[in-house]
Structure 1
Amino acid sequence: MSSEQRKKTVALAVRLTPDEAEAIREKARDGGVTVSEFFRAAALGRKTRSTIDAQVINELRRLGGLQKKIHNDTGGSYSKETADILRAIKDAIERLGRGDLQGDGQA
């Protein structure tokens, strides 16, 4: 246990609805942090440091590359469909960069 963890000895109880609790758990999970870390960051106006954003962006880029390969390998047979998918992937990457998706790395 780190010295930082040993210093955290005070627990606070918070009353939430089941829906609120699940939403908070999901946001913490999406940000790659514990619920405690998420609450501390939100309450103290800090950003959480998420590695998930980078992982998601890399996976979206990989999927975009595979989609482009399919487009090229089929000679553009499904050009409308592949173009739509590539556009959706690009839009998702841009939204992640702006923090518009869950897991935006901010509390």
Structure 2
Amino acid sequence: MSKSGSRQKGRVINLRCTEEEANILKEKAKAAGISTSDLLRRSALNRKIVTRTDLRLMNELLRLGGLQKHLFNQMQDNMTTELSKQFSEVLVEVKKAIIALDLNVVPVRN
């Protein structure tokens, strides 16, 4: 972090919560790969919180889509109409899943 960023975060605000709430906040921050302070700051200021799980899921969907396309290309010589339809349906569903993630706004919830 830049010096100007650390200088701006010199103010401490105390927060009271239950033990359960504290644990939930810590778990959510850990899932997002950020500090609890950063999680609370981003939540309060309506900023993006992208979890690492969502990023891993996005990468896995992209990988599976690429593999599906590779298999489709490899099978061109033995392709039937039914097989082509099945490959197409799988690629469409992978694309829908990727779009549904919409990593621009990923709320961290239970």
Q: Is the 8 A contact 2:42 2:49 kept in 1?
A: no
Q: CA 1:34–1:65 in structure 2 vs 1: closer, same or farther (change >3 Å)?
A: same
Q: Which has the larger displacement, 31-40 or 75-84?
A: 75-84
Q: Which residue of 2 aligns with 1:90?
A: 95
Count of aligned pairs between the two proteins: 102
1:38 aligns with 2:39: yes
Matched to 2:39, the amino acid is F
Helix, strand or coil at the partner of 1:33: coil
Q: Which residue of 1 aligns with 2:65?
A: 64
The C-alpha deviation readout for 1:25-56, integer Å capped at 9, x for no partner, is: 454345443221111111123x1375956775
Matched to 2:48, the amino acid is T
Q: Is the 8 A contact 2:50 2:103 kept in 1?
A: no
Q: Which residue of 2 aligns with 1:21?
A: 23
Please say which structure displays the higher CA radius of gyration. Answer: 2
Supply the distance in 1 between the matched residues of 2:70 and 2:93 (Cα, whole angstroms).
16
Supply the distance in 1 between the matched residues of 2:30 and 2:65 (Cα, whole angstroms).
25
Gaps of 5+ in 2: none
The alignment's TM-score, normalised by the length of structure 2, stands at 0.54
Q: Is the 8 A contact 2:26 2:36 kept in 1?
A: yes
Helix, strand or coil at the partner of 2:102: helix
The C-alpha deviation readout for 1:47-95, integer Å capped at 9, x for no partner, is: 1375956775455323211111123324458946644542332122111
Identity %, equivalent residues: 31
Name the Cα RMSD after superposition. Answer: 4.2
The alignment's TM-score, normalised by the length of structure 1, stands at 0.55
Runs of 4+ in structure 1 deviating by more than 6 angstroms, as ranges, are none
Gaps of 5+ in 1: none
